[in-house]
Amino acid sequence: MMTSLLAYLLIPLSSAVIIQFLKKNDKLADIVSNVSLFAGLLNISYLIFNPQNVRFSFASIADNGFSLIMVLAIYLIAFCVSLFSSGFIPRTKNKHNFYSLLLTGVAAMCGVVISLDFFTLYIYAEALAIVSLAMICYEDNERGAEGAVKYFFLTLPGSVFILTGISILLFTAGTFNFLNLQSIANSGPMSTANMVAVAFLCIGFLIKAGIVPFHTWLIDAYQGAYSPVSAFLGGIATKVSGAYAIIKIVMIFKLFESTAGRISEALMLLGAITIIWGAIAAIRQKNFKRMLAFSSISQTGYIVLASGLGTPLAVLGAIFHLFNQATFKGTLFLNSASIEKSAGTTNMHKLANLENSMPWTTWTSIIALLAAAGLPPLSGFWSKLVIVLALWEEGAKGYAFLSLFFMLVTFAHFAIIQKKIFFGKKAADGEKSREMPVFMLLPVVLLSMIIILAGIFFPHVYSFLMQAVTRNML
């Protein structure tokens, strides 16, 4: 574990425990959850963005920059979900339990990103899986239960494969530690046995990331889950338990240049298939949340494709896209929750013309959708551009064209959603909807601001990520 970042794990964990003693008082639970997450967010933001660091192009950041930006993303999304939930969840629903689960989830995610060996990483990823399971079926209905069951059983093979990989690693390399493994990988061609371990690790985390054809659990889980939970899962949880680990493996083993070129190729191929399948399947969905789930899969495909390529530039693009996806999918899932609450449905055929009744929800969604589609100068444009450039540079021109083409298909998602939900002719359910209170709009406004700012200040983001990547891949 990185001890310097341990506080980010311990504080939410203790808050989660404290909240259990505040059963009678929901207001206090609201405050404890939001304040502890907000304090963490401020703290990590200052750690990264204080003027001193910005001035020296982040060269003075001592810790692992990749972990820092992941902690930032975790706290950002968790805080937004928590703030949103304080307005969203009615009193009758045992709010304190939700907060406890959320904070435990934050602690587990921080554990994943600050761990320094695969075993610890696996333990925290499993903890996160259990918390997610409980959160998906938080709302006591059939769909939630179905989603939870599918989540549990269909990701189970993933856990098994990871465990297999780790066990093989223990026998062949004799260590789980990232640094030791990295030095082994750097010292020369790796043994076949090690490669088998890496292959198992990769497939395990691919299943957890919801990559096609292992994405089946993800759709039902996202759609069936209680709405703020969808934002939590779609925004950050699956990214941390899946995509983060993939990027980490790529950084450590440098698959593309070693003997394990096949794994790297497999990653790229699966990434490309995911991009295509997710984007196409999203087109004809009737339910907003289900469509977002497919779109989310497609976006994760970009991350896996770039990690498969594995050059520093590609990894940089993957990390930035991971962060961006957290912000825009967070925004969209939170807004889908708002729409569900306000209009009573997320069925796109029953919704229309929310522009007038819910202007803030509409415009933040538009920003997020455009960022997802890669419209300059929003953040999503830069991350996809970096990925496409990296692919082009390495001569993977087919993949580069494919990525570009499916950016257009993502624009089609935007076109469909904007017409069916936000603009277009008025519909009965859209009529009665009302804008959410300020507290529930603050999170999405914050996230959209970040989408815009991360795009405008991309040069700074780039220099930060470059530091992180070069330090990790040395």
Partner 1 sequence: MNILLIPIFLPLFTAIFILLVSEKTKYLKEVAAIMASFISFLSALTIFLSSNIIAYSLPWAGYSFDFTLKADVLGKLALLFATGVSFLAAFYAAGFMKKRTDSAKWFFFNLLFTGSFSSGAVLSDNLLTMLFFWEGLVIFLYTFLVFAKGGRNSGAIAMKAFIINAVANLCFLIGITITGFIAGSMNMTEIHAGKLAVSGWAFAAYLLLLIGIVSKIEGMPFHTWMTDAGADGANSTFLAYVPGALDKILGIYMLVRVSIYLYVLNGVVQALIMTLGVVVLLFAAMMALAQKNYKKLLAYIAVSQSGYALLGVGTMNATGIAGGLFYALNNAIYLFALFLTAGSVESQSETSNMAKLGGLWKRMPATTLVFIIAALSISSVPPFNGFFSKEILQRGILEAGYPMFFAAVELGSIITLIALLKLGHSVYFAKETETSLRCKESGMFMIIPMFIAAILCLFFGFGAKIPVEHFLEPVLSYLALEHARTIAGFQMGNLLLISVAGIIVSIISHVVGYGITGKPYKATDYLLYAPVLSKIYRMAEHKVFDPYEQIMKSSVWPLGQFFSKLDSLTDYLTFTLPSFVSNSLSKMSQKFHRGSYVLYMTITIIGFLVYMAYVFSFGGIK
Calculate Rg over the CA atoms of the chain. 21
**Can you tell me the distance from the alpha carbon of 151 to that of 340, in angstroms, rounded to the nearest whole number?**
23
The reply on whether position 216 binds partner 1 by CB under 8 A is: yes
| Nearest residue (CB) to partner 1, 120 versus 172 | 172
- Sequence-distant (≥ 6) Cβ neighbours of residue 55 within 8 angstroms: none
Q: Which is nearer to partner 1, 111 or 204 (CB)?
A: 204
Q: Which of 125, 240, 247, 260 binds partner 1 (CB under 8 A)?
A: 260
Residue 409 binding partner 1, by CB under 8 A: yes
- CB-CB contact of 105 with 237 (8 Å): yes
In the complex, minimum distance from the CB of residue 17 to partner 1, in angstroms, rounded to a whole number: 35
**Distances, alpha carbon 354 to alpha carbons 160, 344, 412, in Å:** 45, 13, 19
Q: For partner 1, which residue of 207, 236, 313, 343 counts as binding (CB under 8 A)?
A: 207
Compare residues 250 and 270 and give the one whose CB is closer to partner 1: 270
Of the candidates 457, 395, 464, 442, the residue with the CA atom closest to the CA atom of residue 41: 442
Q: Could you give the count of Cα atoms lying within 13 Å of 116 in the half-sphere of its Cβ?
A: 11
> By CB under 8 A, which span of 162-170, 215-223, 325-333, 422-430 interacts with partner 1?
215-223
CA neighbor of 269 nearest in space, from 201, 322, 202: 202
Residues 454-473 that bind partner 1 (CB under 8 A): 458-459
CB of 298 to partner 1, least distance (A): 12
Q: Give least dist CB 310 to partner 1, A.
A: 15
21 or 405: CB nearest partner 1: 405
Q: Candidates 4-12, 26-34, 111-119, 254-262 — which segment interacts with partner 1 by CB under 8 A?
A: 254-262
Q: Pick the binder of partner 1 from 280, 404, 452, 473 (CB under 8 A).
A: 280
> Smallest distance, Å, CB 262 to partner 1?
3
Q: Which of 262, 349, 419, 432 binds partner 1 (CB under 8 A)?
A: 262
The two tokens of residue 280 are 């196409």
Residue of the chain from 3, 140, 187, 284 that contacts partner 1 (CB under 8 A): 284
Number of residues engaging partner 1 in binding (CB under 8 A): 41
Smallest CA-to-CA distance from 108 within 123, 89, 93 is with 123
- Torsion angle in degrees (nearest 10) through CA of 25, 26, 31, 32: 70
First to last CA, the chain: 20
Task: Figure out which of the listed residues 41, 209, 237, 270 binds partner 1, where binding follows CB under 8 A.
Answer: 270
d(CA 1, CA 117): 8
Binding flag, residue 281, partner 1 (CB under 8 A):
yes
Select the residue interacting with partner 1 from 148, 203, 315, 388 (CB under 8 A): 203
CA nearest 216: which of 207, 225, 224? 207
Rounded Cα–Cα distance for residues 42 and 398 (Å): 42
Residue ranges in 78-97 that form contacts with partner 1 under rule CB under 8 A = none
Shortest Å, Cβ 261 to partner 1 = 7
Q: Of residues 142-201, which lie at the interface with partner 1 (CB under 8 A)?
A: 146, 149-150, 153-154, 157, 161, 189, 192, 195-196, 199
Token pair in block for residue 343: 């209009």
Nearer to partner 1, 214 or 422 (CB): 214
The one among 26, 30, 220, 429 contacting partner 1 by CB under 8 A: 220
To partner 1, the closest distance from the beta carbon of 219 in angstroms equals 6
Per-residue CA distances from 421 to 200, 281, 440 (Å): 42, 19, 19
Report the 10 Å Cβ neighbour count for 36: 25
User: Taking the CA of residue 344 as centre, how many other CA atoms within 13 Å lie in the half-sphere pointing to its CB?
Assistant: 8
In this structure, what token pair is assigned to residue 142? 């059939």
For the CB of residue 117, give the shortest distance to partner 1 in the complex, in Å. 24
Catalog residues that contact partner 1 under the rule CB under 8 A: 146, 149-150, 153-154, 157, 161, 189, 192, 195-196, 199, 203, 206-207, 213-214, 216-217, 219-220, 259-263, 265-266, 269-270, 277, 280-285, 409, 412, 458-459
